Amino acid sequence: MLRLSKKTDYALMAMKHLASDPRHRAASAREIAETYDIPVELMAKVLTRLVRSGLLTSHQGIHGGYKLAQPPAATSVAAVIEAIDGPLTMTACTPGDHRCDQFSKCTVRDPLHRIRDRIAAILAECSISEIAADPGPSAPPVTVMPSPVVRRASALSAASREP
Amino acid sequence: MLRLSKKTDYALMAMKHLASDPRHRAASAREIAETYDIPVELMAKVLTRLVRSGLLTSHQGIHGGYKLAQPPAATSVAAVIEAIDGPLTMTACTPGDHRCDQFSKCTVRDPLHRIRDRIAAILAECSISEIAADPGPSAPPVTVMPSPVVRRASALSAASREP
DNA sequence: TTAAGATACGACCAGATAAGTCGGATATTT
DNA sequence: AAATATCCGACTTATCTGGTCGTATCTTAA
C-alpha cells in the first residue's frame, strides 16, 4: 500500500526532535522514546541504524546520546527511509534482482522503475529541516521562546548540565 | 519500504495487457494469468476488484472476459493502486484515523501527508497508456503479429470468434 | 574503583498482513 | 446440456513487522 514502516516514522520523529533542539544537545534514546510514547528498545534499535548509516553520531557514557551528524537541511527524508528500510523499491524485482517469479515475463518492471525514480527524487528533495519546520500536533507556531525566563523545570536540568 | 503489493503488480500487468491489444478484445482471467505466470485464481480475484472499481468491464459466458472500461490514457496508475490496495497512505495514521498509538504526540504526520500528496500527484499523472508504451522485457517493439498464420492453438479459438 | 546511565547487538516471539488455494455459485454462449 | 467464464468467500500458508529480552561494552561521575 506504499506505506512507510513504523520504524521509519520513529526515525523521522527522532531526526526532527534532534533538529528542533536549538542547542543541539545530545538526546538519549530514552528521552526521545518517552517524549513520543515509543518503546525504548525499539527506539534504540532505530537510532543505532541511523548511526550506522551516518545520519547520527552517538556517544556512550553517562551523558551520552545521539546528535545529528549533519545540519538538518543536509539530510533528506530519502536517506532516513533508506537507513531504516533499505533501498526504496516499489516492486519485488529490481533490475538485477531476479528473485521474483514473474521476472522473465514482467512487463511493468521498467515503467514502474521510472515512477520509482520520480518518487525517490521527491523524497531526496525533502529535507529534515522541512519536516522540522512543521509545528507539531498541539504545538503552537512558536519558533522562539517568549523569554529566557520561562525555561524552568524540565529545561532547567538540561540547561544546568551544559557549562 | 514503500512497496507496491504483488496484486497491484498483477493488476497493472493485466491493465497493460488489455491496453496493448490493438483489437480491444476481451481477455479471460486464464489468458492473462498464463501469459505472465500468475496463479489463475489470484489473477481472477484481482480482476474482479478492478471491475468493482469501474476500471474494467466484465462479461460472463463462454466468450466472456475483461475489457478496459475507459481508454488507457484515462486510467491512472493511482486509480489501479487504489482499486487493489485501497486509498494510498504512507503512514498508519491518516488525519481522521486515530488508531495509531502515537497519534496525539506524532510530529511528522502533517509533513508526511504533504509528501504523500506529492507522490499521489505523480501516480495520478501517470496513465496506463504510459505504462503500455514501454516495450516488455524481451518483447521486440512489434505491435502487429508477423503473419496471421502464426495464430494457432490457443490463439485460434480467440481469433475465430471475431468476424 | 565502583556504580549508574548510556549505546550496541543479536536472538526471539507474536500478531498482522500478504500471497496463494479451494470449493462452489451463477451467468452466457454453443 | 455442456463448456467456459466470472463471481464470491473462506481458508491456509508464508512472510514481514513491531515489539521484547538479555547481555556486552563503553563512559562519566562520585
pLDDT digits (tens, 9 = 90+) for A110-140: 999 999 999 999 999 999 999 999 886 654 4
pLDDT, mean of residues B63-89: 96
Quote the DSSP letter at residue A91.
Answer: S
pLDDT of residue B147: 35
* Residue B26 · residue B66 · CB < 8 Å: yes
Q: Which residue of A has its CA nearest to B136?
A: A107
Q: With bands split at pLDDT 50, 70 and 90, how would you rate the model's confidence at A25?
A: very high
pLDDT of residue A137: 66
pLDDT of residue B137: 65
Instruction: Kindly list the protein residues whose beta carbon lies within 7 Å of any strand C atom.
Output: A 1, 28-30, 41, 44-45, 47-48, 51-52, 58-66, 101; B 5-7, 39, 41-42, 45, 59-64, 85, 161
Question: Which nucleotide does the CA of B10 lie closest to, via C1'?
Answer: C19
pLDDT over 90 at B92, yes or no: no
Q: Residue A139: list chain B partners with CB under 8 A.
A: 107
Distance from the Cα of B108 to chain A's closest Cα (Å) equals 6
Q: If you search the block for the grid coordinates 494469468, which residue do you land on?
A: B33
B65 CA to C28 C1' in angstroms comes to 11
Indicate the average pLDDT of chain B. Answer: 85
Q: What is the pLDDT of residues B105-128, one digit of tens each?
A: 999 999 999 999 999 999 999 999
pLDDT of residue B138: 57
Q: With bands split at pLDDT 50, 70 and 90, how would you rate the model's confidence at A1?
A: confident
Indicate the average pLDDT of chain A. Answer: 85
Q: With bands split at pLDDT 50, 70 and 90, how would you rate the model's confidence at A150?
A: very low
Residue of A23 and B47 predicted with greater confidence: B47
Q: With bands split at pLDDT 50, 70 and 90, how would you rate the model's confidence at A153?
A: very low
Number of H helices, E strands in chain B: 7, 2
Q: Which of A5, A86, A122 sits opposite B115 (nearest CB)?
A: A122
* Closest protein residue to C19 (Cα–C1'): B6
Distance from the Cα of A52 to chain B's closest Cα (Å) equals 18
End-to-end, the C-alpha distance of chain A in Å comes to 49
pLDDT of residue A138: 58
Q: What is the pTM of this model?
A: 0.84
Q: What is the pLDDT of residues A28-83, one digit of tens each?
A: 999 999 999 999 999 999 999 999 999 999 999 999 999 999 999 999 999 999 99
Of all helices (H) and strands (E), which one includes residue A65? Answer: strand A65-68
Q: Considering only CA atoms, which of A44, A55, A60 is closest in space to residue A7?
A: A44
Cβ of A111 and B123 within 8 Å?
no
pLDDT over 50 at A163, yes or no: no
Please give the Cα distance from A155 to A158 (Å, whole number).
5
Percent of chain A topping pLDDT 70? 83
Q: Considering only CA atoms, which of B92, B63, B82, B90 is closest in space to residue B12?
A: B82
Question: Which nucleotide does the CA of B49 lie closest to, via C1'?
Answer: D7
Count interface pairs A-B at CB distance under 8 A. 143
